[in-house]
Structure 1
Amino acid sequence: METAYPPLNELFVFLNTTITQISIFYSHIPGSGILLKYIKNSHQNDPFRTILELLLVFFAIIYLFTKKYRTDNLIELTPQEVEELVDEWQPEPLVPQLSDEENEFDKIPVINGPQGPRVKLVNGKPLLNISSFDFLGLLSHDSIKEKAIKTLREYGVGSCGPPGFYGTVDVHTEIERKISDFLGTEDTIIYSQGFSTINSAIPSFCKRGDIIVADEGCNFSIQKGLQISRSIIKWYKHNNMEDLERVLRKIKDEDIETGRRLTRRFIVSEGLFENYGDITPLPNLIELKKKFKYRLILDESLSFGTLGKRGAGLTDYFDIDPNQVDMIVGSMCYSIASSGGFCSGSFEITEHQRISGPAYCYSASLPAMLTVAATESLKLLKQNPGSADSPVIHLRIDEGIVRVGDIEDKEKCLQDIVDEAMNNGVLLTRAKYNRTQELFSIEPSIRICISASFNKKEIEKTASVIKSAATKVLKNRVH
């Protein structure tokens, strides 16, 4: 009886020969030994990984040999259907339709010549300008203009580079040193944009998981900085220290109840509030920040140069050691007639921002001519005393006295007052807000900015014109 072993032996010989030839061929491939060693070690260390890699290879092979999707089988449209689609098609407008606020652009007065406390419109009409943040009237100062022109000829327009690379020159370090000396702080860092200063300084230190307690009345720039930080934000009622203490105590109780880990904690406020014109009680803020172990970030954009015996801001106003405020942030766009902003504090505070402040690391440095303009303005500021009162006043409609409707109706009434005052020689402005972005609703108002350049007669005229304009516009709305 014959057996089937010979064919089986021939099969084994064939397989053995084939495998040997494949092995010889594989060994001649450059790097084959390394790949084989990797597969062996990978399988010994993690067999599941080998299975996963085989599945990926299998998927790749299927993908390569799968029939590709083609869009050749398009539906043919009849000429009539094409004509109907063409008739129905409406092109999008090249320019979007203007909003009601944008439609007001045509009504905005255009100033002919440089800005200052006294300006002229293109039609030649002279006006007292009480709508500008030029509190000290330094924008039109001759010595500042001369220094700026001289610097422009010497340094050029700008460095076109960030401060940390090749954007820093001697005039930048000079203004940083002089601001520190003026405020009484250890060190200062300057930014090239005033708006970006506070919303860069905050996220430089505040990260996800940190806790920030902020005043509801903070300006738009601070709000953006808080959002960028991605920290836990708690709000307290505007300028209400009792509510601030309540919020701080609630956070402390939550820490005890939940066992929440200790993170960085900050209190953020303005010195002189842009949206309200009132002054924050700094002694109470410092007392609470020490009591609950928080750091204090104070935006002195409007109070720097205006408040205090020397005009050095809130610490000067309340006669408080500036080193008790962890970060004093301010803008150089207002009182000192320049551009950019600064953050002043300890040496560690400023050095950290030089490597982590977004607006410092990724923006071109402040042009030398504007830096020198700020230095000269600071020199003039030292020669003149500050003020005991806020230079910003907001006029709002009292609904208990005047009949008004919604926000749009209030803004219309205020704009009518602004227009009437301009007809009588006083340039006013409504306080404008981006209401789709503001975190809290703000009552419409007319913002008045008092300049040190005005004399008593001009102030009296301004008050009389505003009163007459308001009486004329609102006389038919009084209850």
Structure 2
Amino acid sequence: MGSSMTRGDIESLATDFYDLLESFKHAPVYHLSFEIFLVLAVSWLVFFRKPRPIEKKLTEKEKQELIDEWQPEPLVPSVDPNHPALNVRVLDGIVGKTVEIDGRKSLNFATFNFLNFVGKQRIADKAIQAVQKYGVGSCGPRGFYGTIDIHLELEERLARFFNCEEGIIYSYGFSTIASIIPAYSKRNDILFVDEGVHYAIQKGVEASRSHVKWFRHNDIADLERLLAEQEILDKKNPKKARSIRRFLIIEGLYVNYGDICPIQRMVELKYKYKYRIFLDESVSFGTIGQTGRGVTEYYNIDRQKIDLISSTLEYAAGSIGGFAVGSSFVVDHQRLSAQGYCFSASLPPLLAAAAIEALNIMEEENTTLFETIMDKSKRLHKKILSIKGYIVNGDEISPLKHLRLTNTLNTIGRLEEIVQFAQSRDITITVARYLSDEHRLPEPSIRLILNVEMNDEELEFLCTVLQEALVKVTT
């Protein structure tokens, strides 16, 4: 009798079940979701989770057997013993017009010492005086007790040299443009970038996380096509367009090609399509223009039309570091936003002193020095063109040129053979090297760099060796 259920009991259970359903209907979704999750978690722990295996203690004999059987994999993959990185050339002494490699002296056409300032006694004396006064470094970023009066002097001198309102210096040439671009261009902005820009610019473009539109190298028509397409998109969404900033990123003289950018047309397009121009003059500073002030001087472009000019101090100036010049409004922004400026220890004072003295020499010899290097660049260009079998890429006034073979033999292997032959004849040249993650890898080439103090006899000897090397590797 105690186990039987009356009609009232059944009705009571039905009522309770109905109330339970109603409570589920009115319960918050997040509450039900949490309860379902708990039920599933408990079910997994009870039915599916495997118990931990009981650890078995190994005997000493078993341990030794495991150790004897273990074959460790190499920490690094095997490398060809003939890889260039394992067979480096050892330099001794100053890397100037001539260089001593493995105890043998040769003419140097491989380093960016355009004006032969590296090792110049006048500059070295200033650097020594700076070491005696300041020591070898500041051991702190510019904003944290790293600013020394000589840094401010160099910035003021650079601004005056380029006739701009203000200048800013960086401790490392690579980090200059790589820090500048992401300091201004952000996630929703647009960068129009020449495909031929060097690696530091590419890293700055990548760090900005902006929308990137690459145009064919030095192709104004392709650039204008991209600008016109963007203008159509802007008209479809004018509200969004007003919040987007646009930048054109170019080089004055392209290190990967040796040619000069058509800056005049780019300035014209700037005012038509409303973008800002960032011009990197790493190679053209100190080499192009009547007084070495780069492509803006060469083409007589008002520098106020260029929003920012950047360059390195590691090429023509023969020092270390980089700089940017422009309006005070533009330059000051970098002091709080450019990572290479904010977080790097400041430029060692001795290098700032060397750069200042390099500027002094540029200003003192502001016509003869730069006319000489451009004139010698033209003569070298003409001499190389007369050698059958080579293609010379680069502007005739550029002290940086790229040599390629005219046939299918233009491979890195063949070019390396030419380099090695030239070294045996006491001419130091090098194959242009690139990293595998670069946006666009140029064709293999020999990068040839002119030093202003090379005379005609030495240039003629270079061409003779290049001709002999070509005959040797192609027969």
Q: Do the two structures share a fold, i.e. TM-score over 0.5? A: yes
Correspondence list, 1:74-473, <5 A: 74=55, 85-86=66-67, 88-98=69-79, 103-123=83-103, 125-257=104-236, 261-262=240-241, 263-384=244-365, 385=367, 386-387=370-371, 388=374, 389-399=397-407, 403-404=408-409, 410-434=411-435, 436-473=436-473
> Cα 1:70–1:151, aligned 2, differ >3 Å: closer, same or farther?
farther
Shift of 1:108: 3.2
Q: Which amino acid aligns with 1:363?
A: S
Shift of 1:92: 2.9
Identity percentage over the alignment? 41
SS at match of 1:222: helix
- Please list every run of 5 or more consecutive structure 2 residues that lacks an aligned counterpart in the other structure: 1-26, 375-396
Shift of 1:94: 4.4
TM-score (norm: length of structure 2)? 0.81
CA distance in 2, matches of 1:283, 1:120: 43
> Cα 1:49–1:192, aligned 2, differ >3 Å: closer, same or farther?
farther
| CA offset digits 1:219-248 (Å, max 9, x no partner) | 000000000000000000000111111111
Shift of 1:110: 1.7
CA contact (8 A) 1:327 1:344 kept: yes
Greater shift in the superposed pair: 259-268 or 155-164 = 259-268
Shift of 1:119: 1.7
- Please list every run of 5 or more consecutive structure 1 residues that lacks an aligned counterpart in the other structure: 1-46
Shift of 1:441: 2.4
Shift of 1:351: 0.8
CA contact (8 A) 1:278 1:390 kept: yes
CA contact (8 A) 2:105 2:426 kept: yes
CA contact (8 A) 1:254 1:260 kept: no
Q: Which amino acid aligns with 1:113?
A: G
| CA offset digits 1:93-151 (Å, max 9, x no partner) | 34543367x8213443222211111122232x220000010000000211100000110
| CA offset digits 1:253-306 (Å, max 9, x no partner) | 222245571200000011110100000011011111111000000110000011
Correspondence list, 1:22-101, <5 A: 71=52, 73-74=54-55, 85-86=66-67, 88-98=69-79
> Cα 1:74–1:218, aligned 2, differ >3 Å: closer, same or farther?
same
Q: Which has the larger radius of gyration?
A: 1
Shift of 1:469: 1.1
CA distance in 2, matches of 1:257, 1:90: 64
Shift of 1:466: 1.4
SS at match of 2:405: coil
CA distance in 1, matches of 2:438, 2:338: 24
CA contact (8 A) 2:434 2:441 kept: no
CA distance in 1, matches of 2:239, 2:106: 58
CA distance in 1, matches of 2:124, 2:205: 36
CA distance in 1, matches of 2:176, 2:119: 25
SS at match of 2:411: helix
Shift of 1:88: 4.5
Alpha-carbon RMSD across the aligned residues, in angstroms, is 3.1
TM-score (norm: length of structure 1)? 0.80
1:21 alignment partner in structure 2: none
